[in-house]
Chain A
């Protein structure tokens, strides 16, 4: 079997130091998080006793650049890890398979490095801007960076610095949960007796991006008013913890009068289907997306997951949650009644479905792989595809100027 491995590559403007990264998406499994593993290649004889330092930084941008007046900056950069990469501080460092592969392929000038996301570090989220806004994206972004210098605090020269944006994402847990989220409310009226009760039940607790949500609405009208129409929304709740701001946006909606009016004494049971999709919310200001690097395969931001026993209040960065909101219009005098049912919208972990089927098979495979480790690597070496960022680098340099 020939498997080609995609490798991301980016060099400093002067081309002397190059990043090689096996991937740009790193998954937070809630109990642990994938480390950022990569390799740096330095052109021989370039350093001359200088060193190469690496950093993992997160940038919070919570306001437009154009609005920065009075010396306010709407962005903060937190350097999460910093490390000396060349010369290696720990020559016996354990390498990940990807690093081993790259080091073998790239020769003696390749130095592996590993960064760990600290606990509680937020996921990458991009807040969508209106149409023609071409400023820096708002949200949480991660960057790895390498630069040449004598010490860590050395002034970083643009020509010998390389940085690459990476993503930190969360995937859905393997178990989608058995509980069906539901909510029950009732509403009385000031000048008349009786109540309208509304019960909403979802068919899942966790949806994957692109999946249809089904909300079953049960209305029983024991009042003297009648329900004129029913509205159904999917609401994205965004909490920007760094400025203590929160807002909600409808990402999918429908309104129906089917089965309406629900006259006094009548009941209605109806299921609404909605698909929350980023594609339907293009150019809408403030919609949160999973940190995105390219325009294709953008999806709405995934719900923020926190470790058990912790509340989302402890989470950092941008906290995302979703709910289905049902609104009943009870006429001009009756007003509106509404209820929210929370659910989670997540990315399926890769191979979730197969995993369930073939856990046993995988185990066997891995044993096999280990048996002929050498052959496996040799096989793979020729199939590394380097994705070069040369063009992007040029653009970045221009932008920086």
Chain B
């Protein structure tokens, strides 16, 4: 794609040879943007065109699916009354962050077309700021969703968070995303620079000063370790609560002489806990998938073998967190029974078939009585 870049001495050589891959990274950058390219990247050759094309196509797909999924979530959650609950505001907030992240995609597509960051330093800052706010915001929103679910499920009657509390949490997610996206913007602490194929921007994890290393370490704890710990703890506690509830219900059934049909009820019990474990695991894995690549690359860049960070490798984290922003609406919203019902009602062509039976009768049938017909009949004598 870099062939479309502006003409300069490098571009001229490039044209005459007809194969870009022998040139060092950054040679396609206009002269006035050359200062943006970190020395590290100059040690690599320009990636072959099919790599560019691959990412290009992937990003188009991601962009479309993110707009579709998150747009649908924002539309439905903000317009249907049945979905207007405090907890759902968090899901809405997540969709907003995810859509926000998606606003970078057109910028990327242009950058990839011309082979450098359009807009120079300013363009790079906007790109990275966008990515920083939406990424950190989404990760902490994930953590708050976990916390809210824990509160709701562990104490379903009076434990759930109120509108006021949720609004505070949402404000907090935006505040949380601010410091480590604004500090590099003004180059107070850390800075933004192009990465990967030099068509995307992120914070600088390559400069080996003590100050920058501390920055990378802090942002690692701030946007990865803390939210992940919150998610882990919340879902673990939620799971233990559900297990206790199930056990207590089984005990009550026993007290009332309701002997469960062992096979049936046990299978049911298992499935409640399994279902939750599965759902929690999916969300946790999604978080890992989204943010581990970034953390690994950043930590290696700062503390390890920088040679491992090839342009291709450093493109992957960017791809990972963008794909997760497309998956979020499916994982959070689509597992929401009321949302599915609403989708089915409004967009029948999506082909969602929600089971009506479960919403019609209450809950899973648990157990079966043991009182036999004879004893019944005998005690009606009076």
Contact of B345 with A by CB under 8 A: no
Interface residue stretch chosen among B100-108, B114-122, B156-164, B216-224: B156-164
Would you call A77 and B272 a contact (CB within 8 A)? no
Interface residue stretch chosen among B9-17, B63-71, B251-259, B307-315: B251-259
Would you call A244 and B248 a contact (CB within 8 A)? yes
Closest to B154 in A: A243
Contact of A316 with B by CB under 8 A: yes
Would you call A245 and B85 a contact (CB within 8 A)? no
Complex Cα distance A90/B160, Å? 50
Residue numbers in A under 8 Å from B87 (CB-CB): 67, 69
Complex Cα distance A136/B364, Å? 15
Complex Cα distance A56/B253, Å? 14
Closest to A244 in B: B248
Would you call B380 and A79 a contact (CB within 8 A)? no
Would you call A82 and B156 a contact (CB within 8 A)? no
Would you call B249 and A242 a contact (CB within 8 A)? yes
Residue numbers in B under 8 Å from A65 (CB-CB): 359
Contact of A138 with B by CB under 8 A: yes
Q: How many A-B Cβ pairs are below 8 Å?
A: 164
Residue numbers in B under 8 Å from A199 (CB-CB): none
Complex Cα distance A314/B251, Å? 10
Residue of B149, B157, B360, B364 near A77 (CB, 8 A) is B364
Closest to B368 in A: A79
Contact of A210 with B by CB under 8 A: no
| A68-B337, A76-B363 known; A118 vs B276 contact (CB < 8 Å) | no
| A63-B156, A138-B157, A245-B157 known; A82 vs B369 contact (CB < 8 Å) | yes
**Binary CB contact string for chain B from 15 to 30 against chain A (1 if under 8 A, 0 otherwise):** 0000000000000000
Contact of A177 with B by CB under 8 A: no
Contact of B361 with A by CB under 8 A: yes
Residue numbers in A under 8 Å from B380 (CB-CB): 35, 37, 93-96, 114
Closest to A399 in B: B360
Would you call A72 and B276 a contact (CB within 8 A)? yes
Residue numbers in A under 8 Å from B369 (CB-CB): 56, 79-82, 118
Contact of A9 with B by CB under 8 A: no
Complex Cα distance A240/B258, Å? 19
Would you call B366 and A69 a contact (CB within 8 A)? no
Residue numbers in A under 8 Å from B160 (CB-CB): 67
Contact of A272 with B by CB under 8 A: no
| A62-B157, A94-B381, A244-B244 known; A69 vs B373 contact (CB < 8 Å) | no
Would you call B256 and A121 a contact (CB within 8 A)? yes
Residue numbers in A under 8 Å from B249 (CB-CB): 60, 76, 242
Give the total of B residues in contact with A, Cβ under 8 Å: 55
A residues 46-63 near B (Cβ < 8 Å) are 56, 59-63
Would you call B360 and A400 a contact (CB within 8 A)? yes
Give min CB distance, B286 to chain A, whole Å: 14
Would you call B336 and A69 a contact (CB within 8 A)? yes
Residue numbers in B under 8 Å from A115 (CB-CB): 376
Would you call B366 and A35 a contact (CB within 8 A)? no
Contact of B374 with A by CB under 8 A: yes
Contact of A217 with B by CB under 8 A: no
| A67-B156, A70-B275 known; A79 vs B367 contact (CB < 8 Å) | yes
Closest to A70 in B: B279
Residue numbers in B under 8 Å from A63 (CB-CB): 152-153, 156-157
Contact of A66 with B by CB under 8 A: yes
Would you call B256 and A316 a contact (CB within 8 A)? yes
Would you call B155 and A243 a contact (CB within 8 A)? yes
Would you call B366 and A76 a contact (CB within 8 A)? yes
| A63-B152, A286-B158 known; A400 vs B255 contact (CB < 8 Å) | no
Contact of B40 with A by CB under 8 A: no
Give min CB distance, A394 to chain B, whole Å: 14
Give the total of A residues in contact with B, Cβ under 8 Å: 62
Would you call B275 and A77 a contact (CB within 8 A)? no
Complex Cα distance A72/B378, Å? 40
Residue of A66, A286, A314 near B338 (CB, 8 A) is A66
Would you call B156 and A74 a contact (CB within 8 A)? yes
Would you call B368 and A243 a contact (CB within 8 A)? no
B residues 271-297 near A (Cβ < 8 Å) are 272, 275-276, 278-280
Contact of B242 with A by CB under 8 A: yes
Contact of B266 with A by CB under 8 A: no
Complex Cα distance A77/B242, Å? 16
Complex Cα distance A65/B363, Å? 10
Residue numbers in B under 8 Å from A83 (CB-CB): 373, 376
Residue numbers in A under 8 Å from B375 (CB-CB): 116
Contact of A389 with B by CB under 8 A: no
Would you call B245 and A77 a contact (CB within 8 A)? no
Residue numbers in A under 8 Å from B275 (CB-CB): 70-72
A residues 232-267 near B (Cβ < 8 Å) are 240-245, 247
Contact of B365 with A by CB under 8 A: yes
Give min CB distance, A148 to chain B, whole Å: 17
Give min CB distance, B265 to chain A, whole Å: 10
Give min CB distance, A366 to chain B, whole Å: 12
Contact of B371 with A by CB under 8 A: yes
Which 7 pairs across A and B sit closest by C-beta, in order of nearness?
A63-B156, A71-B275, A400-B360, A75-B363, A70-B279, A118-B256, A93-B377
- 7 contacts across the A-B interface (CB closer than 8 A): A70-B279, A72-B153, A76-B364, A90-B373, A116-B371, A243-B157, A247-B158
List 14 extra interface pairs beyond A66-B82, A121-B256, A316-B255, CB under 8 A. Answer: A59-B362, A63-B153, A63-B157, A65-B359, A66-B85, A67-B87, A68-B337, A69-B87, A73-B363, A77-B363, A79-B258, A96-B380, A244-B248, A316-B256
* B contact residues vs A (CB 8 Å cutoff): 82, 85, 87, 149, 152-153, 155-160, 242, 244-245, 248-249, 252-253, 255-258, 272, 275-276, 278-280, 335-338, 356, 359-369, 371, 373-381
